[in-house]
Amino acid sequence: MKKIAIYGKGGIGKSTTVSNMAAALAMSGKKVMQIGCDPKADSTSLLRGGIPQGTILDLAREKGDAVTLEEMVTEGFAGVLCVEAGGPKPGTGCAGRGIIIAFDKLAEKGAYDVFKPDVVFYDVLGDVVCGGFTMPMRGGYADSVYVITSGENMAIHAAANIAMAVESFHGRGYAELGGIILNKRNVERENEKVAELADDFKTTVIGEIENSALIAKASEQGKTVVEAFPDSAEAEAYKKLAMKILES
């Protein structure tokens, strides 16, 4: 089982990228689980036709220990196993705590043993790299961390903070930094700036996703581009990125 955490600032395209990679690998015959670690709980929506997934945190509040694995994990496009950690209501608690509770519940119910996924993706908000948001980096969870960024200054800043956190924690047995994914926004010197970021952390830009209206069009349909436009160049780019990460 390969366990991969994808981090990046809010709005940078993490969920779109992760969902497309999950769909691509599932279509190739892999058993894939995608765990959304963002309090917005929208990581898996493109795999579920735009339909929201009930969160583990909400289920735990409602049912406590009686919550079942089947309630926490649902099947999306091509059989991708969809999970949303969830988060507290605004102003009522720490969002990172929701991730910790979700991971505890999945472990308690033996999710990995029951479903036996070949690949697990953790889709993690990276604006704040502390507390529960570092859980996917810790030993026993992700094997490697990939950071999504564009060439925009705020995205670069967030990506650098995430990479520093991975670098800091790696000596404690946490996941290693696998590389940078460039999700293009067509800003000035975009490739050069992201390449410089990768050099700073002695890693590589493992893949690039072009800024595409077709990806947005698929999202408007509540689908991944891999599902909506499987023969497109955009779908092929996600397939190549997914395989490159899987084989790295």
Residues forming a β-bridge with 123: 6, 36
Tell me: pLDDT of 245 over 90: yes
Q: Give residue 134's pLDDT band: very low, low, confident or very high (50, 70, 90).
A: confident
Q: Is residue 230 domain-resident?
A: no
Question: Residue 83: what are its φ and ψ, rounded to 5°?
Answer: -135, 140
DSSP E strands in the chain: the ranges are 2-8, 32-37, 74-75, 81-84, 119-125, 144-149, 176-183, 205-209
118 is catalytic: no
Q: Is residue 241 domain-resident?
A: no
Phi-psi label, residue 183: left if phi above 0, alpha if psi -120 to 50, beta otherwise:
beta
Mean pLDDT of 137-153: 92
Tell me: pLDDT of 90 over 90: no
Q: Is residue 240 domain-resident?
A: no
Distance CA 235, CA 229 (A): 7
Tell me: pLDDT of 92 over 70: no
40 is catalytic: yes
Number of domains into which the chain is organized: 1
Is the four-CA dihedral 208, 214, 218, 219 of positive or negative sign?
Answer: positive
Residue tagged active-site, from 2, 14, 105, 239: 14
Residue tagged active-site, from 42, 58, 118, 127: 127
With vertex at residue 243, the alpha carbon angle to CA 84 and CA 181, rounded to the nearest 5 degrees, is 70
Tens-digit pLDDT profile for residues 49-64: 999 999 999 998 899 8
Q: Is residue 124 domain-resident?
A: yes
Mean pLDDT of 178-203: 97
Tell me: pLDDT of 121 over 70: yes
pLDDT higher for 198 or 166? 198
Give every strand in the sheet of 81-84, ordered side by side: 74-75, 81-84, 32-37, 119-125, 2-8, 144-149, 176-183, 205-209
Claim: this prediction has a pTM higher than 0.75? yes
Q: Is residue 79 domain-resident?
A: yes
Residue 219: which domain range? 2-225
Residue tagged active-site, from 9, 30, 105, 193: 9
Q: Give residue 88's pLDDT band: very low, low, confident or very high (50, 70, 90).
A: low
Q: Give residue 65's pLDDT band: very low, low, confident or very high (50, 70, 90).
A: confident
Tens-digit pLDDT profile for residues 16-52: 999 999 999 999 999 999 999 988 899 999 999 999 9
Q: Is residue 247 domain-resident?
A: no
199 is catalytic: no
- Cα–Cα distances in angstroms (integers) from residue 193 to residues 147, 166, 187, 198, in the given order: 14, 20, 10, 9
Residue tagged active-site, from 40, 184, 217, 244: 40
Mean pLDDT of 233-244: 98
Q: What pLDDT score does 91 carry?
A: 61
193 is catalytic: no
Q: Is residue 238 domain-resident?
A: no
Alpha helices in 83-145 (DSSP H): 95-108, 111-115
Kindly tell me the number of DSSP H helices and DSSP E strands found in the chain: 10, 8
Q: What pLDDT score does 221 carry?
A: 97
Of 26, 99, 94, 32, residue with least CA distance to 60? 99
Mean pLDDT of 126-138: 77
What residue has token string 């988060």?
87
Percentage of residues in the chain with pLDDT exceeding 70? 96
Q: Which of 48-62, 66-80, 88-102 has the lowest mean pLDDT?
A: 88-102
What CATH number has the domain bearing residue 136?
Answer: 3.40.50.300
Tell me: pLDDT of 105 over 90: yes
Q: Is residue 236 domain-resident?
A: no
Mean pLDDT of 162-167: 91
